Amino acid sequence: MKRPLYVVGSGAVTAAGLDARQTLAAIRASLSAFEEMTLAEPFGAVQIVSRIPTHHQLRRTQGKWLVNMAARAAKEAFRTGARASEATAILLTPPESFRKHPAYEDIAPPEFLAAVIKATGQRFHAGSRAVDGGAAASIGLLERAREIMERQGVEQVLLGGVDSLVNDTDLARLEQAGRLKGEDNAQGLVPGEAAAFVRLTLNPEGGSPVHATIHGVGVSEEKDSVLSDRYSQGRALLAALHDAVRGSGPSESDIDFVVSNSNGERYSGLEQLIARPRFYRTRRERLPTAYPAMTIGDIGAAGGALALMLAADSFLNDYAPGPTVACELSSENGLRAAAVMARMTKR
């Protein structure tokens, strides 16, 4: 990146907390938001999920449910600052289109962002966009966030995602592929749901002596995705990590820990096993890694912003294992992304 971005605020709604503070506290404490849910198909079957507790009326349709989640998290992130909404752009990643998410039966993908903005009750900058591609696509949008702030008069960007794998369509396809965690599959994913946003600026805010900054971004496409019949050799993740440390920012040897959206599947475990030793070549006694999915399950497209939010919070509240982190993000369709963040101290 030509210049760093500052993470100056966040907002979230997850099964572990109805705001960013609760969610981050639950992840830090290694709590579990998992529960058993009885399925309608096959009738009576039980599946482990990470589901946001809420009144059934808020779940009348999947479309309205996702829009309400996204609007709630975006408003929380927006309220952490004092800039006008007209000078704020939203960059959003909704559920990937290939999944045929039931939310799109209510709201067509081109209309999804407009529905979220309407639900916030604010008027945001015309540079706002929704981009297909899952959690890794959020990281890819960091370069766009920098560009629209430099060239289009945007003062801040709300970068985020919203998703729910707790629906009949996703549960059926994941079950058919043998990817769900259960009694017969210890190395499966736990379907989750969430909305998460981070507020980005080009300059630090407030009088705090500590700031969380994003210095490098890398994005690559994995041909052997989890949807294929082959295991990943980690080529795309490796390429994304190399791109993220290319430039004047932190290098591989500076990285102290990792935040990953790995979901516990055998596929992602093997990908990391192959890719990481080929990138993290500097000798380390250990490489601490945070896996938010251990608390809130696989939250799909919301995972990118949540990883940035967790990394930033660890710097600002002084519980990070070190001053530099690599965020590793994977999307179902094969997109891989990495972002290198650092703790900056104001002198």
Residue type (1 letter), 113: L
Question: What is the 8-class DSSP label of residue 153?
Answer: -
Half-sphere exposure of 60 (CA within 13 A, CB side): 5
- Tell me the CA distances in angstroms from 27 to 165, 167, 283, 291, 306, one per residue in order: 19, 24, 28, 9, 11
Q: Cα separation of 118 and 222, whole Å?
A: 35
User: pLDDT tens digits, residue range 114-148?
Assistant: 999 999 999 999 999 999 999 999 999 999 999 99
**Radius of gyration of the chain measured on its C-alpha atoms:** 19
Percent of the chain residues topping a pLDDT of 70: 100
- The tokens describing 245, both together, are 């440390």
Q: Give yes or no for a contact between 272 and 301, defined as CB atoms under 8 angstroms apart.
A: no
Residue 4 has pLDDT above 80, yes or no: yes
Q: Give yes or no for a contact between 334 and 227, defined as CB atoms under 8 angstroms apart.
A: yes
User: pLDDT tens digits, residue range 250-260?
Assistant: 999 999 999 99
Q: Please report which residue ranges of the chain form alpha helices under DSSP H.
A: 20-28, 62-78, 109-120, 135-151, 168-176, 235-244, 266-279, 293-296, 303-316
Residue 347 has pLDDT above 70, yes or no: no
Q: Cα separation of 97 and 27, whole Å?
A: 29
User: pLDDT tens digits, residue range 179-235?
Assistant: 999 988 999 999 999 999 999 999 999 888 899 999 999 999 999 999 999 999 999
Percent of the chain residues topping a pLDDT of 90: 91
Reply yes or no on domain 5-201 having CATH 2.30.30.40: no
Q: Cα separation of 94 and 87, whole Å?
A: 22
* 114 CB neighbour count, 10 Å cutoff: 13
What is the model's pTM? 0.96
Backbone φ, ψ for residue 111 (5° rounding): -100, 0
Mean pLDDT of the chain: 95
User: Angle at CA 60, nearest 5°, toward 124 and 189?
Assistant: 85
Mean pLDDT of 296-321: 98
Mean pLDDT of 295-310: 98
Q: Cα separation of 203 and 274, whole Å?
A: 37
Longest Cα pair distance anywhere in the chain, in angstroms? 62
Write out the CATH class of domain 210-345: alpha beta
- The tokens describing 27, both together, are 């992840």
Mean pLDDT of 238-247: 96
Contacts of 179 (CB under 8 A, 6+ apart): 185, 188, 189, 226, 265
Q: Give yes or no for a contact between 124 and 88, defined as CB atoms under 8 angstroms apart.
A: yes
The segment(s) of the chain belonging to CATH 3.40.47.10 are 5-201, 210-345
Q: Cα separation of 292 and 295, whole Å?
A: 6
- The tokens describing 155, both together, are 């003062």
Q: Give yes or no for a contact between 296 and 195, defined as CB atoms under 8 angstroms apart.
A: no
pLDDT at 2: 84
